[in-house]
């Protein structure tokens, strides 16, 4: 289990903030601490009520004790992720055996999507831990017949509501339906239903009641209906994707174990892998319910089905503990991993060729594939864990050269020679981490008209933008628009490779993988 912790805890303070989501979970707790307001989360000076505050409270508590640093947010994220791996192990030990439990933990901990989210998305890893802890406690109650297990499951589900909202009702409903169909009648009468429900209600409603009494009940209603039901029934919050989206996401994000799972499903499967066969049905109900429910949502994000991967790992580990994989699935895993190693070596050799050991992560990835081909799944998984650890250790620091926000923020002065306050922000390039690096309110501009109005202000204004958006502003503003700094931003898409092949060769120069980002000001002329 110690090797599984390595990818989660290496290089925590090395990289700058991931603007896709992490910025909100490092800056919002800071503003809560500085304002002394632990009820209303704020980001960039404005209330941020689209998420409950449990993740902010955890990071804010660390800030209060140790001081503000991205390291503490990432340490909490790593601890939550590692605790999730342990929850999978404990569930597997209750479900099957310690041997299968360890394999399930290894499979889950080396899942591609889990490793990526464990580096940048605090709220979903926190939600995952709450759900897995509730599942583990439920299984403990089911198998050991201890009332404390059901009460503890209710407690963790309540924390899940404080982590991300009513989405926790889905696993709660799955557990309730399973209980209704498979619990003997005599156990129904003895189960601590009232105490468990009371614990869940007290924990889950605590912040919502505080918010309602202090800010008005409209805030609570907006959160429940707009930020939760609205995300399910409207596409305003994200892209609309078809019913096939989550099955395809599962195959890609449960990489490489999704291929082995297909092999297991194609082989001889029976409930005999579990001492309690009803628990096999619980896992199947869990997998099917999550995939079906979120497939109906109009707003789909890949990380919504994160709780599927640990349960898929439990199911697959139980199968691997007793059966042999079909040869085609093992060789397919080998082929995909070796191909992934080659695909990684191309940009790594281009971007990091001066970094010692840049070739080690692709080598580990290829070695994992070869181990899988020989039906050595456990060594393949351990090697894959080493791959993630080496990739973070070797690549994150040199990757900073291609992450512009922290570098450009250092070029923004705190004041001007005339004494006018300096205004900063970003235009058509989402970089919310700028609010953290400057620790001030920043402009968030999305249209040319907004950018032109801001840059025509009398005081100093600094904006981060993509290079392709600069010419239009330059035509309008002329000499007053000045480029204060230029940094490359990593820009890797499938189209990059396609264009390279169209030209008859694969362009491996660093320029082919990056685009320029400007810091401009109105201090020219």
To the nearest 10 degrees (0 to 180), the angle between helices 98-109 and 2-9 is 20
pLDDT score for 35: 93
Residue 234 — pLDDT band, cuts 50, 70, 90?
Answer: low
pLDDT score for 504: 45
Mean pLDDT in the chain?
87
pLDDT score for 520: 96
Tell me if 90 sits within 8 A of 102, measured CB to CB. no
Which is higher by pLDDT, 394 or 145?
A: 394
Query: Residue 331 above 70 pLDDT?
Result: yes
Span 346-374, pLDDT tens digits: 888 888 888 888 989 999 999 998 988 87
Span 420-440, pLDDT tens digits: 788 999 999 999 999 999 999
Span 266-311, pLDDT tens digits: 766 555 566 677 888 899 899 999 999 888 887 888 889 999 999 9
Q: Compute CA distances 425 → 138, 402, 446, whole Å.
A: 48, 20, 11
Span 40-85, pLDDT tens digits: 999 999 998 889 999 999 999 999 999 999 999 999 999 999 999 9
Query: Residue 328 above 90 pLDDT?
Result: no
Mean per-residue pLDDT, 35-44: 94
Cβ-proximal residues to 464 (8 Å cutoff; 6+ apart), any chain:
404, 405, 408, 425, 426, 427, 429, 431, 434, 517, 518, 519
pLDDT score for 267: 65
> Strand 46-47 to strand 443-445: parallel, antiparallel, or no bridges (unpaired)?
unpaired
Query: Residue 158 above 90 pLDDT?
Result: yes
Which is higher by pLDDT, 262 or 391?
A: 391
- Residue 191 burial (10 A CB sphere; 0-12, 13-18, 19+): middle
pLDDT score for 123: 94
Which is higher by pLDDT, 473 or 509?
A: 473
Q: What is the pTM of this model?
A: 0.92
Looking at the chain, the whole-number percentage of residues with pLDDT higher than 90 is: 55
Query: What is the layout of strands, in order, in the sheet containing 514-521?
Result: 443-445, 423-427, 461-466, 514-521, 482-490
- Other CB atoms within 10 A of residue 502 CB: 9
Which is higher by pLDDT, 27 or 379?
A: 27
pLDDT score for 418: 67
């Amino acid at each position: 289990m110690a090797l599984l912790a390595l990818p989660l805890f290496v290089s925590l303070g090395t990289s700058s903030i991931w603007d896709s989501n992490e910025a909100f979970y490092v800056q919002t707790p800071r503003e809560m601490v500085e304002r002394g307001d632990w009820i209303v989360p704020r980001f960039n000076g404005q209330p941020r009520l689209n998420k409950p505050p449990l993740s902010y409270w955890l990071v804010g508590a660390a800030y209060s004790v140790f001081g503000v640093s991205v390291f503490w947010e990432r340490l909490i994220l790593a601890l939550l992720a590692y605790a999730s791996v342990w929850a999978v192990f404990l569930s597997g030990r209750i479900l099957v055996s310690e041997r299968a439990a360890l394999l399930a933990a290894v499979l889950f901990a080396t899942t591609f999507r889990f490793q990526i989210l464990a580096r940048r998305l605090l709220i979903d890893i926190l939600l995952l831990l709450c759900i897995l802890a509730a599942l583990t406690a439920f299984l403990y109650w089911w198998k050991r017949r201890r009332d404390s297990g059901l009460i503890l499951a209710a407690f963790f589900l309540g924390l899940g509501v404080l982590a991300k909202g009513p989405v926790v009702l889905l696993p709660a409903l799955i557990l309730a339906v399973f209980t209704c169909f498979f619990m003997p009648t005599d156990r129904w009468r003895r189960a601590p239903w009232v105490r468990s429900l009371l614990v869940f209600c007290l924990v889950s409603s605590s912040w919502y009641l505080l918010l309602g009494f202090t800010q008005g009940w409209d805030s609570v209603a907006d959160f429940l209906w707009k930020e939760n039901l609205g995300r399910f029934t409207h596409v305003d919050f994200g892209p609309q994707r078809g019913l096939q989206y989550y099955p395809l996401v599962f195959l890609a994000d449960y990489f490489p174990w999704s291929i082995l799972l297909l092999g297991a499903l194609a082989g001889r499967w029976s409930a005999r892998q579990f001492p309690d066969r009803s628990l096999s049905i619980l896992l199947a109900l869990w997998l099917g319910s999550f995939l079906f429910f979120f497939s109906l949502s109009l707003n789909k994000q890949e990380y919504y089905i994160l709780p599927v991967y640990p349960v898929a790992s439990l199911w697959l580990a139980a199968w691997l503990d007793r059966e042999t994989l079909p040869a085609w699935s093992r060789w397919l895993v080998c082929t995909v991993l070796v191909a992934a190693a080659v695909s990684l070596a191309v940009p790594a050799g281009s971007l990091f060729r001066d970094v010692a050991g840049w070739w080690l992560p692709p080598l580990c990835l290829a070695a994992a594939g070869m181990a899988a081909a020989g039906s050595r799944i456990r060594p393949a998984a351990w090697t894959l864990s080493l791959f993630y650890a080496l990739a973070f250790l070797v690549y994150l620091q040199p990757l900073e050269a291609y992450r512009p926000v922290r570098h450009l923020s250092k070029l923004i002065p705190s004041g001007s020679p005339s004494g006018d306050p300096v205004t900063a922000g970003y235009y058509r390039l989402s970089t919310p981490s700028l609010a953290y690096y400057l620790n001030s309110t920043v402009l968030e501009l999305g249209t040319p008209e907004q950018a032109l109005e801001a840059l025509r202000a009398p005081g100093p204004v600094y904006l981060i933008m993509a290079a392709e958006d600069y010419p239009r502003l330059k035509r309008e503003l002329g000499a007053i628009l000045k480029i204060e700094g230029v940094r490359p931003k990593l820009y890797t898409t499938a189209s990059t490779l396609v264009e390279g092949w169209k030209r008859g060769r694969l362009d491996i120069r660093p320029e082919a993988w990056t685009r320029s980002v400007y810091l401009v000001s109105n201090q020219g002329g």
